Amino acid sequence: MRVLITRPEREATALAQALGARGHSAVIAPLFGLQVLHPPDDFAASLADCQAVLITSANGARALAEASEQRSKPIFAVGDTTAATAEGLGFGTVTSASGDGAALSDLVRQRLDPANGPLLHVSGANVGAELAPEGFETRRIVLYEARAAETLPDSARAALEARALDVATFFSPRASEAFVRLVTEAKLADTCRGITAIAISPAAALPLAALPFASTVAAERPTRQAVLDEIDRLPPPGVQSPSPMTDTPAPSSPPDPIEPPVAAVVPPAVSGRRGVGVAGAFVAGLIAAVLVLAVALVSLPYWPQEARTLWRGPAVAQPAPPPPVVPPSAPIIDTAALDAAKRELTVRLDDLDKRVRAAAAAAQADRPPADRPATPDPAIAELQRKLEALESRPAATEPDTSALKSEIVALRAGLQSLDQAVAGQKAAVDKAAAAASASTTGEQKALAAARGSAVIGIAARISAGLTSGQPFATDLGLLTPLAQGDAKLGALIAALQPVAAKGVASRASLAASFPAMAKAALADDLADDSFWQRLLGKLKNLVSLRRIGADVQGDSVEAKLARAEAAIDAGDLARAVELVKSLPPQTSRATADWLARAEAHLAAQQAVDQLAAQAVSLLGSSR
């Protein structure tokens, strides 16, 4: 299955790895960027007074870890993934409700006593419903905000336009509403007809009814594992079903992500067919018609009288000649009428010859040179010679004027029949040429569509490789046969080639290594020639005491590092790189390696985005 993931980047990366282990291909298109907020002034006091902390998402666990160094408070998590995230951040006592908000409230009532103190609910700025277990005093503190994207992510737009998705996943009602809004604004609602929407809960599935999905499925339980199970239950691509807020437990020890095979769409080979073809049929029919006419004219004197009468038409009674007034050696002949008939016949023959040559030349334009006749039509040449012989006969020796006129009438009738045959053959040739042109255009569009679909599928796999930090040389190699004759596609392959074998650092790894780099950079900034400053720098290198958050003002190294880290958490790696590059020169030793890895990731991501745009362009040209 080709699965669209709309979760924020960190959660999407983990889900993409789980899908890869199951043989699916993921397209990551975050609809929200996370922003960690500064806690309120009384946060420390509230944390100290509470008997336990309630967390309803993995982002809440991360925000709590950023806001406080305390790790001893009991943590009650809504799901297994949230609990695993909290344990990984160092919280000692973590209990999972393995469900939704209602399950978490039930767990709290079973395990805790309201008399022991209030509860602290760490949440985002937007929540579906207040979490307030009955009988307990619960205070909600907002430590992060999920900011919705203003436009549909490029990866989702390209995959929808290419109709390269089988499944779309939604983990909250807010994500479903955002997706419906962005897809509708982009006028791509019709592309959802072949997609199954899988939501983590009925509440998250409800907004999806506004789009024409093939089907909408709500997971049996509000967990990530249940969503994965629903994907596995789907039949092979072609059938869809309907239906999320919380996370889902990933496999206990997720195996290394296995890149699912991708079936490269190879444009079908077009084989040429040899044979007589339209042009050959036209010329053959023309020659046959002329030959039949010539044979008829030559053998006319030997036909029975009834046949000759039928050919020539009813005989015209000739008036009796008047008494001769001239010597018998000089018969009276209407030479003017005869000359006019000869001239008319000559013009008709010349015009017919030109038309036949023009039609034959047009019809033979698509035939191989070896199939084209090298000489004019022999039947027309024979008619021309007969006419010239007729014209060259002396008037004084012309025997029977009536017979000559009958032959001229017969020639005219034959030429008229030949005119009709030529017109019919030319119409057939024009119709066949139009059909051949339409067929060629259709084949070109089909090839362009096949290339576009192949490129969009490969671009999605390379993007998944960038997200997970895995090599993507095999996927990039699939693009080589598709880049023939496409200079832009070739340039994008060349740009990705240097990093394909080893891959680039993922955004998650860059975010994980940022605190250590920031600590070293801050220490280098303080370590000038002063003994006390060097001592302070060493202490800074041992103990991390720096402010964090997007609202840290100023141009100091500490302020820029704080804003850069907030930008990374919000998914804006380019902004983080810009801030780190603006640090003073004395910090370059600490930041050089991180900057090189981050810039390599950004360059590769830009090339993949352009690759997806080129694929969309190919699909557009096939319409």
Instruction: Enumerate residues 6+ apart whose C-beta is below 8 A from 313.
Output: 409
- Which stretch of 130-139, 194-203, 228-237, 322-331 has the lowest confidence by average pLDDT? 322-331
Residue 483 CA, chain-centre distance (Å), reads: 15
Residue 268 lies in a domain: no
Residues 186 and 174 in one domain: yes
Walk across the sheet containing 119-124 and list its strands: 32-36, 138-148, 119-124, 52-55, 75-77, 94-96
Write out pLDDT tens, residues 503-537.
888 888 888 888 888 888 877 766 554 555 555 55
Residues 571 and 512 in one domain: yes
Given the structure tokens 């960690």, which residue do they identify? Answer: 36
Asked whether 168 and 152 are in contact (CB, 8 A), the reply is no
Three-state secondary-structure class, residue 26: strand
Examine the fold and report which residue of 125, 146, 167 is the final residue of a domain before the chain moves on: 146
Question: Which residues share a beta bridge with 96?
Answer: 77
Q: How many Cα atoms sit within 13 Å of 561 on the Cβ side?
A: 26
State the Cα angle at 359 between 355 and 361, rounded to 5°. Answer: 115
Residue 544 lies in a domain: yes
Asked whether 549 and 38 are in contact (CB, 8 A), the reply is yes
pLDDT at 69 over 50: yes
C-alpha distance from residue 425 to each of 254, 272, 379, 428 (Å):
72, 24, 17, 5
Instruction: Enumerate residues 6+ apart whose C-beta is below 8 A from 535.
Output: none
Residue 214 lies in a domain: yes
Asked whether 163 and 140 are in contact (CB, 8 A), the reply is no
Residues 84 and 232 in one domain: no
Residue 259 lies in a domain: no
Residues 309 and 424 in one domain: yes
Region at 313 (left for phi over 0; alpha for psi -120 to 50; beta for the rest) = left
Strand (E) or helix (H) holding 156? helix 154-161
Grade residue 240 by pLDDT with cuts at 50, 70 and 90: very low
Three-state secondary-structure class, residue 216: strand
Residues 47 and 128 in one domain: yes
Residues 156 and 18 in one domain: yes
Asked whether 157 and 274 are in contact (CB, 8 A), the reply is no
Counting the structural domains of the chain, the total is 4
pLDDT of 290: 67
Residue 478 lies in a domain: no
Residue 419 dihedral angles phi and psi, to the nearest 5°? -60, -45
Region at 398 (left for phi over 0; alpha for psi -120 to 50; beta for the rest) = beta
Tokens of 69: 């160094």
Interatomic CA distance for residues 316 and 460, integer angstroms: 87
Query: 3-state DSSP helix/strand/coil percent for the chain, to nearest 5?
Result: 60, 10, 35
Question: Which residues share a beta bridge with 142?
Answer: 123
> Which one is predicted more confidently, 184 or 542?
184
pTM of this prediction? 0.38
> Which of the listed ranges 101-110, 335-344, 352-361, 482-491 does the model predict with the highest average pLDDT?
101-110
Interatomic CA distance for residues 527 and 43, integer angstroms: 34
Residues 15 and 123 in one domain: no
Asked whether 149 and 43 are in contact (CB, 8 A), the reply is no
Write out pLDDT tens, residues 419-456.
666 677 667 767 776 766 666 666 667 777 777 778 88
Interatomic CA distance for residues 506 and 78, integer angstroms: 28
Instruction: Enumerate residues 6+ apart whose C-beta is below 8 A from 467.
Output: 9, 12, 13, 16, 28, 506, 507
CATH code of the domain covering residue 115: 3.40.50.10090
Pairing of β 32-36 and β 138-148: antiparallel
Residue 518 lies in a domain: yes
Could you list the residue range(s) of the whole structural domain that residue 142 is in? 35-146
> Which of the listed ranges 93-107, 272-286, 384-398 does the model predict with the highest average pLDDT?
93-107
Residues 48 and 18 in one domain: no
Residues 92 and 229 in one domain: no
